Amino acid sequence: MNWLETLRTGVNGVRSHRMRSSLTVLGILIGIAGVIIAVGLGEGASSQVTSEINALGSNVLTVTPGSSTSTTGIREALGSASTLTMADVSALQSRVDAPDIKAVAPITSDDEVLTAGSETATTSVQGTTTSWLAVRGRTLAEGRFLDNQDVKDHTAVGVLGATTASELFTRGDPVGQTVDVDGVPVTIVGVLTSTGASSSSSSTTSDPDDTLIIPISTGAERIFGGTSRNSVSSIAIQSESAGDLTGAYQEADHLLLQLHGITTASDADFTITSEASLIAADTSVDHTLTILLGGIAAVSLIVGGIGVMNIMLVSVTERIREIGLRKALGATPRVIRRQFLVEASVLGILGGILGVVAGILGVLYLPGLIGDPMTTSATAAVGALAIALAIGVLFGVYPASRAAALAPIDALRSE
Amino acid sequence: MITQPTGTPMVEVARDNVIELERVTKVYRTGSISVAALRGVSLTIKEGEYVAIIGPSGSGKSTLMHILGCLDVPSSGRYHLAGEDVSHMSETALAEVRNRSIGFVFQQFNLLSSLTAWQNVELPLTYAGVARSERKERAMEALARVGLAGRVNHRPGELSGGQQQRVAVARALVTEPDLILADEPTGNLDSKSAADVMRLMGDLYENGRTIVLITHDSDVAGAAGRVVGIRDGLLSERDESHLESQSIR
């Protein structure tokens, strides 16, 4: 009896026990769909992180005020000191003292309520200079960015992030409109291109698309007020290339220590971090999540496999007369074993195919419900199918061998 | 294993003998207790004979049927089926012998309920490796032979008991076996259907088939040309007019 005949017999066996077969298939379906959705969630999260890293640029350092060694106890809390000033910014811009530094952007920021007509939004208002666009690796969707004249004249102009723009101006072009920021009317001159990284993913970075960029001078003089006009919240530094990042780090560290009159590096009143390193930590969290979800899905697959085995064992017991008859009519043990193996495999493959379909549908439609991005992965789909087939075969071997080993007289005798 | 075309004897001497049992015993062991179901049975059945084996339950008749049908092997003694020694064959070899040389008719019909009549009939041909188109053709012929040409696409559940048993007879015929082995073929039938099936068996005998009928019913056994009794694991020839039969003990 060739494989085609065996396949036909096996498919017939599955078809003639519809209810039982479909329940078994359902078990595998859930397992496979679970694997695809779990992998989709995990990969979706990490690809989002990757796009954030790309958006930030791998050649960017951020200097923030405060201590890098808070464990010494006597120091002020991290970030609380206003130790960074515009003088630091000018020093870092020196091509002589810091040849590896390409551009420097000082940033002052605060959360403010923006009002445009009847729409309001609370967003991070960042005061900076013209170099911010290049340092952050951002582009404009429309209008223009801040220019040197704006910074010099403390002009009340601003550039909106894509998310903020769509929140405040549901209809019409934001460019040329006025946004009220803490009582100051700010004219919108441009809108940034969306980075594509959504808000929910990462705890270490705020949404780069939800922001208002204004000249640093305007912020200090007219909006933020309070603290010293020369102090900045942070300084973003762009190195000449990704390979010069270490050099830029050393130059910035050296310059700032010198300017602040600190002799011991461990007493530094500022911290220099690479943005990418923050996200790397986030990525490893996502990685753990993927493993966890994958583990749960794998367990459900094993449960599905045990379901196949259970059903096949029931099937062997229930069809003991059929097996006896087939043997009496000339089926060799090998043929019987193949028949039951094929039946188990058909259940596995059927569950696998339906599971892949359900999983892909889940990946397509679930993000709309739960808000997390997901990625369809061909590798996951093909892998899941292979696993489903392997489960069918693996968990079918024992029941099939039991069927093959039945003595024809015992099988025929049973009522 | 030496394979040979259906019905061609391997040994010249055994040309006419479909069945040769020599001092066959069968002992069942369950734990420390052994039960001898057959206690030295010798029986020769020639080609074209119609033999009934009659005995009450517990006489060893089922065990004899299993051994004759190559469903089980003897504990000792020899069994030649169509000239081939099957006493010590492996399970796989026995399956091939059953497929090639024996057509079974069971009391319970033993049709597969998910298959149509013709699909049930073609089943032994599938295991013999016969091509699909030829299988269907031969199954249809066999069904026509038992008078069920109009019922080929019915499933067992849609057929009467008598019709189901005729499908089973067609299945036994379809491989052109050396031996048709019928185990209480009328046990589950009403008297009219039983008479139909027995008439069918008679027709097959007329056409030269070798038939062994196992029953407890002497009326059914009466249809056969030769009746062999079995009691307590031993055979006894009932009809002394069969001078050529060699009943021992």
Nearest by Cα to A213 from A264, A140, A153: A140
Cβ distance B114 to A12 less than 8 Å, yes or no, reads yes
What is the residue-averaged pLDDT of chain A?
80
Cα–Cα distances in angstroms (integers) from residue A210 to residues A52, A111, A125, B61, in the given order:
14, 11, 9, 91
Residue B199 lies in a domain: yes
Give the residue on A whose Cα is nearest the Cα of B128. Answer: A1
pLDDT in tens, B206-246: 988 999 999 988 888 888 889 999 999 899 877 544 444 44
Instruction: Assign residue B162 the CATH number of its domain.
Output: 3.40.50.300
Apex B122 CA angle, B118 and B126, nearest 5: 150
Task: Spell out the residues 6+ positions from residue A43 whose beta carbon is closer than 8 angstroms to its own.
Answer: A290, A374, A375, A377, A380
Interatomic CA distance for residues A200 and A337, integer angstroms: 53
Residue B83 lies in a domain: yes
Q: Per DSSP, what are the bridge partners of residue A104?
A: A237
Chain B neighbors of A2, CB-CB under 8 A = 129
Number of domains in chain B: 1
Residue B2 lies in a domain: no
Chain A neighbors of B106, CB-CB under 8 A = 412
Q: Are A47 and A363 in contact (CB under 8 A)?
A: no
Interatomic CA distance for residues B118 and B146, integer angstroms: 12
Interatomic CA distance for residues B119 and B137, integer angstroms: 11
Residue B137 lies in a domain: yes
Cβ distance B96 to A330 less than 8 Å, yes or no, reads yes
Give the residue on B whose Cα is nearest the Cα of A409. Answer: B71
Best residue of B70, B110, B116 to probe chain A, by most A CBs closer than 10 Å: B110
A85: DSSP letter? B
Average pLDDT over residues B116-143: 93
Q: What is the helix, strand, coil percentage profile of chain B, to 5?
A: 35, 25, 40
Residue B39 lies in a domain: yes
Instruction: Note down the domain range covering B29.
Output: 12-237
Chain A neighbors of B72, CB-CB under 8 A = 407, 409
pLDDT in tens, A223-232: 876 655 677 8
Chain B neighbors of A16, CB-CB under 8 A = 113-114
Best residue of A7, A9, A12, A329 to probe chain B, by most B CBs closer than 10 Å: A329
Pick from B66, B95, B115: which is nearest to A409 by CB?
B66
Q: Which residue pairs, CB below 8 angstroms and at least 24 apart, start in A403-406?
A: A403/A316, A403/A319, A403/A323, A403/A336, A403/A337, A403/A339, A403/A340, A404/A333, A404/A334, A404/A336, A404/A337, A404/A340, A405/A333, A406/A316, A406/A320, A406/A323, A406/A324, A406/A327, A406/A336
Question: What is the three-class DSSP state of A44?
Answer: helix
Cβ distance B127 to A325 less than 8 Å, yes or no, reads no
Interatomic CA distance for residues A135 and A306, integer angstroms: 56
pLDDT in tens, B145-180: 999 999 999 999 999 999 999 999 999 999 999 999
Residue B26 lies in a domain: yes
Q: Are A50 and A373 in contact (CB under 8 A)?
A: no
**Range with the poorest average pLDDT among A240-244, A307-311, B95-99, B123-127:** A240-244
Residue B246 lies in a domain: no
Q: What confidence score (pLDDT) does residue A200 get?
A: 44
Tell me: ipTM over 0.95.
no
At B10, which helix (H) or strand (E)? none
Burial class (CB in 10 A: 0-12, 13-18, 19+), B121: buried
Apex B243 CA angle, B237 and B247, nearest 5: 35
Which amino acid is present at B171?
R
pLDDT in tens, B38-63: 999 999 999 999 999 999 888 988 89
Residue B7 lies in a domain: no
Share of residues in chain A with pLDDT > 70 (%): 86
